Amino acid sequence: MSLSGKITLGLISGIALGLFLGEWAKPFETIGQIYIGLMQMTIVPYIVFSLIGNIGRLSSRELRLLTGSGLLMYALILIASGTVALVLAESFPDIPASRFFSASMVEPAPNLGWYDLFVPANPLKAMAENHVPAVVIFCLLFGVSMSGLKEADRLLDHMSLIAKNLHRVNGMVIRLTPIGVMAIAAHTAGTMSLEEFERLEGYYLVFGVYSLIMAFCILPLLVTSLTTYSYRHVMTAAWNGCLTVFATGSILSVIPLMIDGLNGLFRQKAQDRSQKSVAEFILPLAYPFPNAGNIGALLFIPFAAWFIGEPLDLHEEGLLLGLGFFLLFGKIFVAIPFLLNHFQLPEDMFELFITGGVFAGRFGDMVGAMHFIVFTILATCAMRGELSIQWIRLPVHLSWVVLLLMASSFGIQTVLDRLEDQSASEQKLLTRNSTIRPDHLLAHLVSKEPNPVALAPNENRLERIHRRGVLRAGILVDNLPYSYRNQAGDVVGFDVDLLTRLANDLHVSLELVPYEPVSLDEQLAKDHFDIAVSGLSITFERATKMLMTEPYFVASFCLVVKDHLRRDFEQEASIARMKSPRLGVAVDGLLAESVDEYFPNATIIPLDSTREFFETPPSPMDALVIQAESGASWTLLYPSYSIVNPFNHPIRLPISIAVAGYDRVLADTLNTWITLEKMKGHIERLADYWMSGKDLRPQTPRWSILRNVLGWTP
């Protein structure tokens, strides 16, 4: 059986095995990781010795030919990729859409690291950290400097010999490809969750169509239109590499396998080995540059714009391709957040991109592999003077491509038109219920009034709580996500669940007493409640008025702004240049102490409630100073707003419990309880549910034939 046959059999067997075993296929992940590691171990050394050894042998004329032909062919492929991406980006229909709930992203934007990525200041460090562009630049300069030097022949011979041996070593590993592919496919098919598809249909559809069109139509037809090679020749040379890349998700590790396919293609037309040498350094040379698969990943930006109901126009899509090309010299995980921010799209959409990348990335890698193969064929033929426009094939190919793109665009619009409207993002917040089990004591809201049972002489509040069997806690009823009313009218939230856990541990019931921010001090003094919560941050001013426990949660400082003002407030320096930015701050003192420190030129506008910022038409404020976790929840109800962190580092805000009457006994007890809750992970789970929007329900086992059909496992 041929290698491609074995790889195909391994892929099919792995999928079948994963579906049969389900989650029991998880151990196969280790085998797959070992295989990928073995495939990667020779890649960077191979690039170094192959590039230097081959470029050093080129004459000045051949170097000029390579530069000219390489740039021309690369531009041709990128133009084709960009055209297809633009056509498909226009395929998103105009249907109602809304945003989704996600955790706040308060970390500063990642540094692009252009210097480390492209400048080989330390070539050995670049090799160790897989900075392939820097490695390639070093090899190019080293190889070009040796070109034409007779004294360098001996060194070049050694480098060619090492590259040849590295290729043989990789060939030994390639024999394990069917096993590695089977293991990876088994693990993926057995453990992959299908829930992510619920909100990514549009992206999967458009990116999948782009990938199939580019990999099996546009790119191969470029070769058949400009050379004498047939479609079958191209696909025969590319099949093993594309299939392996799709299975492994690693283009870098499959470069030798792609070169093998190209060598077989070139040997059909030439008996000498000169073309083989050219192919062996052209393909690694192309690797650091953006490829057609990366270009396709940029389709996530028009998808994100469509998803929130603000689609990009044609001019913006063209700008996207231009910006994206340069950003893709870095990493796609740096490019996407930058582009989301540039086009004023919710930054937390990046989390959705990460989720979708688990599946879409394989298609992108397959397109990337075909890109490198086609580029190598065209550049090699251009250097050899073998390019010739096939005037009979070209019109036919163009006609097929135009018809295919029209049909694909129409099909995408038809499918997406039939999708159900995206559920409103606020529903994910307003329909949330308590995480406490129904058999536990739950909280109920009472009126604003002092505790009906007064303290006995020399009695502390903890003793009264046990004597009465009730814990009274003050809360804000409209402070997302700490305490608020859900769609059913129940008071729920992070702090409500936390208090419920506390009451259950004390074996008492829980009464929630509403308070207003301006009246907190007064109600604590009048014994309306034993403790108070709702995202109370520890400030120096507050510490002088009431006893605060140790922090049970650490929030982050942020600003909430209109989407179109996001870029104006994303940097501290840009805010400092403003004449007098108007910042809304709640009057309860929350964050008020920090505003003057961080924004001395700002005009502070006090607010009675957070909701006032969003519902005052027209708002006299440019931004709202708030906790990032709370701000993210408010933007779900008001999706035209976004949160930004203008600082180079997150500013942390400790969240604590206020204790009435400076009661040290109750405060010490709460401090011990908070420590235990942290150690048990309960507070982290509550934060995951109420702030990050995670589903804490026990995950049902992955469907499998072994469990669901045969019933052999519980």
The model's confidence at residue 698, banded by pLDDT at 50, 70 and 90, is: low
pLDDT value of residue 537: 86
- pLDDT digits 0-9 by tens, 366-397: 999 999 999 999 988 888 888 888 888 888 98
CB atoms within 10 A of CB 334: 18
Lowest mean pLDDT among 64-78, 97-111, 141-155, 222-236: 97-111
When pLDDT is averaged across residues 116-140 and rounded to a whole number, the result is 82
pLDDT at 411 over 70: yes
Task: Tell me the CB-side half-sphere exposure of residue 327, using CA atoms within 13 A.
Answer: 22
Across the chain, mean pLDDT equals 82
In this structure, what DSSP letter does residue 391 have? T
pLDDT at 299 over 60: yes
pLDDT value of residue 406: 92
The rounded distance, in Å, linking the Cα atoms of 586 and 481 is 16
pLDDT at 359 over 70: no
The model's confidence at residue 656, banded by pLDDT at 50, 70 and 90, is: very high
Choose the most confident range, by mean pLDDT, from 543-547, 565-569, 673-677.
673-677
Q: Which amino acid is at 530?
A: D
Task: Tell me the CB-side half-sphere exposure of residue 309, using CA atoms within 13 A.
Answer: 13
pLDDT value of residue 669: 95
- pLDDT digits 0-9 by tens, 678-688: 999 999 999 88
Query: Which helix (H) or strand (E) element contains residue 654?
Result: strand 652-655
When pLDDT is averaged across residues 217-236 and rounded to a whole number, the result is 91
H helix and E strand count, the chain? 31, 15
Taking the CA atoms of the chain, what radius of gyration do you get in angstroms? 31
When pLDDT is averaged across residues 552-580 and rounded to a whole number, the result is 83
The model's confidence at residue 98, banded by pLDDT at 50, 70 and 90, is: very low
The model's confidence at residue 283, banded by pLDDT at 50, 70 and 90, is: confident
Higher-confidence residue of 210 and 633: namely 210
- Residue 15 contacts residue 182 (beta carbons within 8 Å): no
When pLDDT is averaged across residues 149-159 and rounded to a whole number, the result is 83
CB atoms within 10 A of CB 508: 18
Higher-confidence residue of 434 and 527: namely 527
The rounded distance, in Å, linking the Cα atoms of 714 and 708 is 9
Query: Is the pTM for the entire model greater than 0.85?
Result: no
pLDDT value of residue 310: 66
Token representation of residue 679: 């150690």
pLDDT at 273 over 50: no
User: With b meaning 16 or more CB within 10 Å and e meaning fewer, what string describes 375-386?
Assistant: bbbbbbbbbbeb
> What domains lie within the chain, and their CATH numbers?
3-94+115-417 (1.10.3860.10), 428-551+656-690 (3.40.190.10), 555-653 (3.40.190.10)
When pLDDT is averaged across residues 187-210 and rounded to a whole number, the result is 76
Using omega within 30 degrees of 0 as the cis cutoff, is the peptide bond preceding 618 cis?
yes
Lowest mean pLDDT among 173-177, 501-505, 525-529: 173-177
CB atoms within 10 A of CB 469: 12
Token representation of residue 224: 């058949």
pLDDT at 272 over 50: no
pLDDT at 42 over 60: yes
- pLDDT digits 0-9 by tens, 621-631: 889 988 888 88
CB atoms within 10 A of CB 672: 12
Helix axes 349-383, 255-267, angle to 10 degrees: 30
In this structure, what DSSP letter does residue 216 have? I
The model's confidence at residue 106, banded by pLDDT at 50, 70 and 90, is: low
- pLDDT digits 0-9 by tens, 243-269: 888 877 777 778 888 888 888 888 766
When pLDDT is averaged across residues 699-708 and rounded to a whole number, the result is 80
pLDDT at 410 over 80: yes
The rounded distance, in Å, linking the Cα atoms of 563 and 573 is 19
In this structure, what DSSP letter does residue 709 have? I
When pLDDT is averaged across residues 105-113 and rounded to a whole number, the result is 60
Helix axes 393-417, 60-89, angle to 10 degrees: 40
pLDDT value of residue 419: 60
In the numeric block, the tokens 């976790």 are attached to: 629
pLDDT value of residue 45: 87
- pLDDT digits 0-9 by tens, 606-616: 887 888 888 87
The model's confidence at residue 333, banded by pLDDT at 50, 70 and 90, is: low
Higher-confidence residue of 7 and 419: namely 7
User: With b meaning 16 or more CB within 10 Å and e meaning fewer, what string describes 445-463?
Assistant: eeeeeebeeeeeeeeebbe
The rounded distance, in Å, linking the Cα atoms of 121 and 518 is 59
- Residue 275 contacts residue 381 (beta carbons within 8 Å): no
The rounded distance, in Å, linking the Cα atoms of 117 and 204 is 30
Considering the chain, what percentage of its residues have pLDDT values greater than 90?
Answer: 22
When pLDDT is averaged across residues 95-111 and rounded to a whole number, the result is 51
Token representation of residue 405: 């793109």
Helix axes 231-248, 3-21, angle to 10 degrees: 40
Cross-strand partners of 478: 484
pLDDT at 198 over 90: no
- Residue 10 contacts residue 176 (beta carbons within 8 Å): no
pLDDT value of residue 511: 92
The rounded distance, in Å, linking the Cα atoms of 684 and 103 is 13
When pLDDT is averaged across residues 301-319 and rounded to a whole number, the result is 80
pLDDT value of residue 271: 46
Lowest mean pLDDT among 60-74, 417-431, 479-493, 658-672: 417-431
Token representation of residue 219: 């790119």
Give φ, ψ of 271 to 5 degrees: -85, -30
